[in-house]
């Protein structure tokens, strides 16, 4: 008698097709070698079909200027294909001649384009006109407290707290210590030097997340310049001691180099692209796959 439907489903789950279950119900048993040969034949036909689909996707097979399955690909695949595959190949060839072929239909998984996560660059980039956060910043020194206060409020510093370091002592409303006045003097001299270097420096406004190409002169090598391209993962603002760090991948090895921002050895500075980041320090890239650090 006929076995219950639950047994048929169990048979399919165990890896047997419905046709094999039907043969077993009719009493026709196939040996392991014949079953394996049948499955291998079907697999080879599927691979031939996927090869035709891959050629169609790549555009190497064209019929009348349309991308799809050519006559040669169709005939070679029909020779060893089963009935259902023959019908699909014939229909695909007809749609190609008619110009209505869809290149993503019915192909084997090996003919599908690779995933986006396998790309060398997995970080998204900003387009022109996008709002950048953090915003790019140049190397000009920031305003001093008394300059910012005087710009916001003309009466700023009347009590002596926000007055310039060059204010005579007799005019001070609030006494300042010698150390504090000396610190303001050092800051003023440092700002003057930073403005002088910024006028002739090739460094342009940049931000963490930018892919930067720097050309630096190597003094130990007779002043010859070499290029280094990487993604800016950190920017350190410390006056004349400011620096920025670039990270890249060289020969499959992550490399990080720190450059002084106001160094006279920087000959060229170019921002190639701006990647989308939401932090000022991108140290998390050290724990990410190398594809995130490639440029």
Is the pLDDT confidence value at 5 over 90?
no
Q: Please say whether the beta carbons of 209 and 275 come within 8 A.
A: yes
Percent of the chain scoring above 70 in pLDDT: 57
**Higher-scoring residue by pLDDT: 219, 120:** 219
> Which pLDDT score, from 0 to 100, does residue 16 have?
53
Per-residue pLDDT of 125-173, as tens digits, reads 888 888 888 889 899 988 877 677 777 776 666 555 566 666 777 776 6
Model confidence at 199: pLDDT above 70: yes
Domain ranges of the chain: 187-292
Kindly compute the dihedral angle of the four CA atoms of residues 63, 67, 69, 70, in this order, to the nearest 10 degrees.
20
Other Cβ atoms less than 10 A from the Cβ of 133: the count is 12
The better pLDDT of the pair 249, 104 is held by 249
Segment 184-207 shows an average pLDDT of 91
Pairing between β-strand 266-274 and β-strand 210-218 as defined by DSSP bridges: antiparallel
Whole-angstrom Cα Rg for the chain: 35
- The secondary structure of 116-152 as a DSSP string is GGGSS--S-BPPTTPPPSSPPB-SSPPPPHHHHHHHH
What spatial distance separates the first Cα and last Cα of the chain, rounded to whole Å? 68
- Over the stretch 20-29, which tens digit does the pLDDT of each residue have? 566 556 655 6
pLDDT at 202 over 90: yes
Residue 26 DSSP symbol: H
Q: What is the pLDDT of residue 281?
A: 94
Q: Are 262 and 255 in contact (CB under 8 A)?
A: no
Average pLDDT over residues 59-81: 52
Higher pLDDT, 29 or 193: 193
- Answer yes or no: CATH 2.30.30.790 is held by domain 187-292: yes
Q: How confident is the model at residue 287 (pLDDT cuts 50, 70, 90)?
A: very high
What is the value of pTM for the model shown? 0.53
Q: Note the pLDDT of residue 21.
A: 60
Average pLDDT for the chain: 74
Q: What is the structure's pLDDT at 113?
A: 46
What's the pLDDT at 62? Answer: 43
Lowest mean pLDDT among 26-35, 56-65, 272-281: 56-65
Calculate what percentage of the chain has a pLDDT beyond 90.
32
Q: Residue 34's pLDDT is what? A: 76
Inter-axis angle of helices 83-98 and 71-78, to 10 degrees? 170
235-286 tens-digit pLDDT:
999 999 999 999 999 999 999 999 999 999 999 999 999 999 988 999 999 9
The mean pLDDT value for 205-233 works out to: 93
Range in 101-105, 193-197, 272-276 the model is least confident about: 101-105
């Amino acid at each position: 008698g006929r076995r219950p439907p639950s047994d048929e489903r169990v048979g399919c789950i165990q890896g047997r097709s419905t046709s094999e279950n039907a043969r077993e119900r009719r009493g026709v048993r196939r040996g392991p070698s014949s079953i394996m040969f049948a499955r291998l034949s079907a697999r080879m036909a599927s691979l031939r079909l996927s090869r035709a689909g891959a050629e169609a996707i790549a555009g190497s097979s064209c019929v009348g200027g349309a991308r799809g399955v050519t006559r040669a690909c169709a005939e070679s695949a029909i020779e060893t294909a089963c009935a259902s595959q023959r019908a699909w190949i014939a229909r695909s060839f007809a749609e190609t001649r008619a110009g209505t072929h869809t290149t993503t239909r019915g192909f084997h998984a090996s003919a599908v384009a690779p995933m986006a996560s396998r790309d060398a660059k997995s970080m998204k980039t900003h387009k022109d006109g996008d709002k950048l956060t953090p915003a790019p910043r140049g190397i000009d020194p920031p305003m001093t407290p008394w300059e910012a206060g005087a710009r916001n409020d003309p009466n700023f510093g009347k009590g002596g707290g926000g007055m310039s370091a060059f204010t005579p002592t007799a005019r001070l409303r609030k006494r300042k210590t010698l150390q504090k006045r000396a610190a303001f003097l050092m800051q003023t001299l440092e700002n003057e030097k930073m403005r002088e270097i910024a006028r002739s420096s090739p460094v342009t406004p940049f931000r963490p997340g930018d892919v930067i190409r720097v050309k630096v002169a190597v003094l130990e090598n007779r002043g010859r310049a070499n290029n280094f391209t990487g993604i800016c993962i950190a920017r350190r603002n410390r006056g004349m001691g400011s620096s920025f760090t670039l990270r890249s991948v060289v020969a499959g090895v992550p490399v990080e180099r720190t450059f002084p921002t106001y160094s006279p050895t920087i000959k060229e500075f170019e921002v190639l692209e701006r990647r989308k980041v939401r932090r000022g320090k991108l140290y998390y890239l050290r724990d990410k796959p190398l594809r995130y650090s490639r440029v």
